[in-house]
Amino acid sequence: MVEHLSIGRKAFIIVNYAFLAFLSLLCILPMINVLAISLSSKGAIEGGLVALWPVEFTTFAYEHIAKTKPFQASMWISVQRVFIGVTLNFLLTLLTAYPLSKEVSQFRFRTVYVWIFVFTMLFGGGLIPSYVVVKQLGLIDSIWALVLPVAVPIFNVVLLLNFFRSLPKELSESAFIDGAGHWPILWRIMLPLSLPAQATVTLFAIVMHWNEWFYGLIYMNSPDNYPLSSYLQTIIIQFDLSSISDVTQLQLMSKLNDRALRSAQIFLGALPVLVIYPFLQRYFMTGIVMGSVKE
Amino acid sequence: MMARKSWRMEIPLHFMIMPGLIFILIFAYGPMVGLVIAFQKFNIGKGLFGSEWIGLENFKYVYSLPDTMNVIRNTVYIAFMKIVAGLVAPIITALLLNELRKQLFKRTVQTLIYLPNFLSWVILSGILIEVLSPTTGILNDFMAWFGLERVFFLGNAKWFPYVMVTTDVWKEFGFSTIVYLAALTGISPALYEASVIDGANRWKQTLHITLPGMLPIIILLTTLSLGQVLNAGFDQIFNMYSPSVYETGDIIDTYVYRIGLGNGQFGVATAVGLFKSVISLFAISLSYILAYRIANYRIF
């Protein structure tokens, strides 16, 4: 069907495309600016010459950071945290969602359990009491302080619970008739089926564990135990560059601009997310829709 | 006999839920017990049972501080603006995106606007501090090029709340846009075709078909966001604020962080936290009830 477009409509279409292009650029230009600064020479930065493209290209900032111990150590802590944290989340979400997805006829305490879990979404103890609990358990300065308190992501449990409920009842019923108990059904039927739903939720969990910085600062007394995001916070926001200045000051001052250094830190901190995002954005997008649009 | 058999069938389910339950009891309900700290002159060395009980002293103390009212006002103002802007921006963007025919362009835009959502506020604050700098930032450079006066966005108390709201929308709007866009595609094309026969132009269609079609999801997301009325965004503001903007930018969470954790006044910090949790409890419960009544939304 050929639409006869009015002048007004044509104008609107052009402006629309231009506006949306501008909006999209707004979302990446700041990052590009920072990247350009991180790759520019000290002179160029101080001269105010750097906008969106590196001037006097140099990778000195990155070379310097990659060698610093705190950066490497905190990167490793973040990797461990993501690995342990996400594995725990995955297992506990599965183990908790399956029983809760059963009807009250099959699981009499179901409603009680559901309320126990869901209430925690409505009310909490707050920062200080949580800190006291973690301290009393002796978890301060340990990676477990970052992983155990958030081990059960209630929102994900609810998502998975609803997913299990949407599966046909015949699935588990026929397994029961064949003599299988709940455990085999969970591992052999429910687990594989849950993978697509879990995949999206797992991605969000990975991003959360990687980005979370506040509890990293609070629960770790020694900066040696900071995850990457917390370490970056001390550099980027608190401007505390003392941990990087172990190279002779003169050499540092002549080649390195602290804006370049911070920009490089920023970019490196964002890099993992930037890298996985294009490949997995489809899952991120279907994920939100799954969580919010109900029929 | 039937009763005993069916109980036995349920035992594995109890075992499955056990680990999750234990974690929740320790790390979610444990701290709730710790809320008594709000009524104590808490000393971390003496612990929960050794610290002196002072009743409502902590609450009275906070109430008497001169900045408290201002902080609460800032919090509600910023949170409210974020809720409204966080509603309007994605809806408009989704409507505009819906008009696009070129799928590749549409998908690219969606991908790019969703990106800031995944970067932490540490990273984004680092970027914004750089970009918004009054002396070296490209935004001010750009403005100066047009002859506009330079603005210290992050240091000027008049600008600060609005910068916070704008950058928050910039980070988050991609998420809601995609949800609204998904809802838009669910509207039946037959409705549009019928309206064209009746002579409706695109604008009238938007007004009478598209927006009403989006209403359920709009109401849903709005009512759910009402629960956040006291969360003005600690992560964001903490990383970008400074004493020069406390007057308009200090929110409950950053205030509590300074006077509570900064000065070691744990009892006071917990008292304010308790106050906030109770209000949030009402706000979130209300929002879920509303969402259920209006949009038939059930979480479980």
> The tokens of A201 are what?
């939720």
**DSSP state letters, A25-44:** HHHHHHHHHHHHHHTS-HHH
Residue at a domain's end among A11, A43, A58: A58
**The CATH number of the domain where A153 resides is what?**
1.10.3720.10
What residues in chain B have per-residue pLDDT under 50?
1
- Using 50, 70 and 90 to split pLDDT, how confident is the model at A1? very low
In a shared domain, residues A52 and A74: no
Chain B hits for A113, Cβ within 8 Å? 17, 21
Domain count for chain A: 2
The amino acid occupying position B278 is V
- Helix crossing, B121-131 with A258-292: angle to 10°? 130
Contact flag B10-A233 (C-beta cutoff 8 Å)? no
In a shared domain, residues A231 and A160: yes
Q: Which of A25, A27, A135 is the mutation pick for testing B, counting most B CBs within 10 A?
A: A27
pLDDT at B216: 81
Structural domains of chain B in order of their starting residue, each with its CATH number: 73-295 (1.10.3720.10)
- Smallest Cβ–Cβ distance between B23 and the set A12, A151, A232 belongs to A151
Chain A hits for B274, Cβ within 8 Å? 126
Q: Which long-range contacts does B48-51 make (Cβ < 8 Å, 24+ apart)?
A: B48/A132, B51/B267
Chain B hits for A129, Cβ within 8 Å? 30-35, 37, 270, 273
ipTM of the complex: 0.83
Beta strand segments in A184-236, E: none
In a shared domain, residues A63 and A51: no
Instruction: Report chain A's mean pLDDT, rounded to a whole number.
Output: 84
B positions 62-81 inside 8 Å of A (CB): none
Residue at a domain's end among A58, A86, A105: A58
In a shared domain, residues A251 and A112: yes
> The tokens of B130 are what?
């750089």
Span of A34-38, A99-103, B105-109, B285-289 with lowest mean pLDDT: B285-289
Chain B hits for A107, Cβ within 8 Å? 10, 13
In a shared domain, residues A274 and A182: yes
The answer to whether B90 contacts chain A (CB < 8 Å) is no
Report yes or no on whether pTM surpasses 0.95. no
Q: Cα–Cα distance between B97 and A206 in angstroms, integer?
A: 29
Q: Cα–Cα distance between A193 and B174 in angstroms, integer?
A: 29
In a shared domain, residues A240 and A259: yes
In a shared domain, residues A234 and A104: yes
**Who's near A104: CB < 8 A, 6+ residues apart?**
A110, A111
In a shared domain, residues A217 and A107: yes
The answer to whether B198 contacts chain A (CB < 8 Å) is no
**Who's near A264: CB < 8 A, 6+ residues apart?**
A38, A61, A62, A65
Side-chain-facing half-sphere of B242: CA atoms under 13 Å = 12
Q: What angle do CA B167, B170, B175 make, to 5 degrees?
A: 135
Give mean pLDDT, residues A136-143: 92
In a shared domain, residues A178 and A213: yes
What does the pLDDT look like over A178-212, one tens digit per residue?
A: 888 888 888 888 888 888 788 878 888 888 899 99
pLDDT at B269: 87
In a shared domain, residues A74 and A2: no
What does the pLDDT look like over A224-251, one tens digit per residue?
A: 999 999 998 888 877 666 655 555 555 5
The answer to whether B242 contacts chain A (CB < 8 Å) is no
Hey, how many other C-beta atoms are within 10 angstroms of the C-beta on A21?
14
In a shared domain, residues A29 and A141: no
In a shared domain, residues A47 and A157: no
Q: Which of these, A206, A295, A182, A20, lies nearest to B16 by C-alpha position?
A: A182
Domain of A8, in residue numbers: 1-58
- Using 50, 70 and 90 to split pLDDT, how confident is the model at A293? very low
B positions 157-176 inside 8 Å of A (CB): 170, 174-175
Helix (H) or strand (E) holding A108: none
Q: Which of B4, B92, B110, B127 is the mutation pick for testing A, counting most A CBs within 10 A?
A: B127
pLDDT at A294: 45
Distances (CA, A) of B265 to B38, B42, B46, B75, B257: 10, 8, 14, 21, 10
Give mean pLDDT, residues A167-173: 84
